[in-house]
Chain A
């Protein structure tokens, strides 16, 4: 027993582990709650594309600031909101199929990001930070930003709970109830964008979609109520963050990957359990 407690406590004596743990849990909760709508509205591809599309913005911030990471959040946030609303507009008035249009833009923007970063000599290391995250290097300042912006996202999701639920279940009903449909749609896109910016340092661009989708999908298998789905998703996401960081510490694997793998295992267990139950 004492061995187990030691195993659990030992990593926490490092301040970077404490900060990392806190960041992983906060980000997990925000992603899970917003991810509920991503899953229910079938926006997984949008989320993935959005995360990749912001790379040039981050790269630009990185070049302008000469390699400092502190201001990157603001670059990520700005690019993310612009990209989300841009992709939203394309989906509405696209000449070619929506997913094709998004695919072209996101791959193009992603390539531009890589091109920009590759102009810096140490680019391989920096690029991998952006792509896969580095939650163990989260500063106290970043933690505050995550707390403030993540809290803001949760507050808005809570405040417009019935509007977002109505809109997602039945957009025509939302229209006949004269809810401000396009305003709410854009608000939701903005919330996803802020979530992506907030989560960047934890899981990076490439694994972002997993944080948005996997815990929410796990919860979707286990409940039939929207509020419960959000709660259960948040619990699984927090657990994934904590367990993932322990795995990362003891097995020396990349933190973002460890978190996502843990969340994936949770999903597979829920999926298997559902199958066994035969429902």
Chain B
């Protein structure tokens, strides 16, 4: 009953052309054109309110673009089940009465179809996903009992159970301590082997440079998009961050005033 569009494998996994989004007269995204290759890891970097969440929601098919189009393997996002959207942790009701396994099983809802209960195959998917993110021991925990890093792993497991081929992660590292951040990043490295394409919104330029294939600098428009060493130049960063960025003379060391406030990115539903 639920739709599932077939993939045209000769088309890119994500192809965005001339995408423009406006809310109440304000421009959130302006004329974005880019495409991703299978298995790539992309960091989307930009100040708060730059349109990162909006971009992810349009790609996921949650919001409709005003102008331009988004194609996943050659067709609109709305027909695809292969897009995993991982919300910011501050957007989730952690007191909801569900266990970790329940949440991961939600990723199977569509494949199961209406009026079907999980079969053994679905539990295998859930267990395998929990193993991949290394939280099998937490399967029956209530979700409020997880640490920030474990919460993030649970959502990645959910996207894996969904059999997502394109994962959109909205600031997965924000608010995590350094070991947890490293854990998530190395998990993303491992996902590359499973040929999952990953787009991650982040504030951390250092991590963006070391853990991702390409970086998109976003501030309503695409300021720059390419390999880390092509993108991370002072003038690009100044363009993206404006006055909030203070370059340290002569080197590529940068300080940002604007960083890591959880949850005040551009949320529009």
B: contact size bracket: 35 or more
> Do A179 and B109 have beta carbons less than 8 Å apart?
yes
> Do A223 and B109 have beta carbons less than 8 Å apart?
no
A159 within 8 A of partner (CB):
yes
The 0/1 profile, CB within 8 Å of B marked 1, for residues 153-176 of chain A is: 000000110110110111011111
Cβ contacts under 8 Å, A165 to chain B: 98, 102, 106
Kindly state the separation between the CA atoms of A173 and B61 in the bound complex, as whole angstroms: 11
With A223-B97, A225-B99, A225-B102 known as contacts, the answer to whether A178 contacts B81 (CB < 8 A) is: yes
B259 within 8 A of partner (CB):
no
**Shortest Cβ distance from B144 into A: residue:** A224
Choose the segment among B19-27, B85-93, B188-196, B200-208 that binds chain A (4+ C-beta atoms closer than 8 Å): B85-93
Closest-CB distance, B219 to chain A (whole angstroms): 24
Kindly state the separation between the CA atoms of A166 and B83 in the bound complex, as whole angstroms: 16
The residue that A170 contacts in the complex, of B106, B115, B144, with Cβ under 8 A, is: B106
A147 within 8 A of partner (CB):
no
> Do A226 and B2 have beta carbons less than 8 Å apart?
no
Cβ contacts under 8 Å, A166 to chain B: 106, 109
Kindly state the separation between the CA atoms of A166 and B103 in the bound complex, as whole angstroms: 8
**Shortest Cβ distance from B162 into A: residue:** A177
**Shortest Cβ distance from A181 into B: residue:** B62
> Do B97 and A225 have beta carbons less than 8 Å apart?
yes
Cβ contacts under 8 Å, A174 to chain B: 109
B28 within 8 A of partner (CB):
no
The residue that A179 contacts in the complex, of B2, B87, B93, B142, with Cβ under 8 A, is: B2
A229 within 8 A of partner (CB):
yes
The residue that A178 contacts in the complex, of B2, B87, B144, with Cβ under 8 A, is: B2
> Do A225 and B98 have beta carbons less than 8 Å apart?
yes
B110 within 8 A of partner (CB):
yes
The 0/1 profile, CB within 8 Å of A marked 1, for residues 50-73 of chain B is: 000000010011100000000000
A132 within 8 A of partner (CB):
no
Cβ contacts under 8 Å, A178 to chain B: 2-4, 61, 78-81, 110
> Do A177 and B62 have beta carbons less than 8 Å apart?
no
A220 within 8 A of partner (CB):
yes
The residue that B114 contacts in the complex, of A160, A168, A170, A229, with Cβ under 8 A, is: A160
Q: Which residues of B1-45 are within 8 A (CB) of A?
A: 2-4
**Shortest Cβ distance from B2 into A: residue:** A178
B149 within 8 A of partner (CB):
no
Kindly state the separation between the CA atoms of A87 and B57 in the bound complex, as whole angstroms: 27
**Shortest Cβ distance from A223 into B: residue:** B97
Closest-CB distance, A39 to chain B (whole angstroms): 10
Binding site for A on B (CB under 8 A): 2-4, 57, 60-62, 78-81, 83-85, 87, 92-93, 96-99, 102-103, 105-107, 109-110, 112, 114-115, 117-118, 142, 144, 158, 162
The 0/1 profile, CB within 8 Å of B marked 1, for residues 224-250 of chain A is: 111011000000000000000000000
The residue that B60 contacts in the complex, of A160, A170, A172, A179, with Cβ under 8 A, is: A172
Cβ contacts under 8 Å, A173 to chain B: 85, 106-107, 158
> Do B83 and A176 have beta carbons less than 8 Å apart?
yes
The residue that A162 contacts in the complex, of B60, B83, B87, B112, with Cβ under 8 A, is: B112
Closest-CB distance, B217 to chain A (whole angstroms): 25
25 contacts between A and B (CB under 8 A): A40-B93, A40-B97, A159-B115, A162-B106, A163-B114, A169-B103, A170-B92, A170-B106, A172-B57, A172-B60, A172-B87, A173-B85, A176-B60, A176-B83, A176-B84, A177-B81, A178-B2, A178-B110, A179-B2, A220-B97, A223-B97, A224-B98, A226-B97, A226-B98, A226-B102
Cβ contacts under 8 Å, B144 to chain A: 224
Kindly state the separation between the CA atoms of A70 and B62 in the bound complex, as whole angstroms: 46
**Shortest Cβ distance from A222 into B: residue:** B97
Closest-CB distance, B86 to chain A (whole angstroms): 9
> Do A177 and B109 have beta carbons less than 8 Å apart?
yes
Cβ contacts under 8 Å, B99 to chain A: 224-225
**Shortest Cβ distance from A229 into B: residue:** B97
Cβ contacts under 8 Å, A225 to chain B: 97-99, 102, 142
Kindly state the separation between the CA atoms of A138 and B83 in the bound complex, as whole angstroms: 52
Cβ contacts under 8 Å, A162 to chain B: 105-106, 109, 112, 117-118
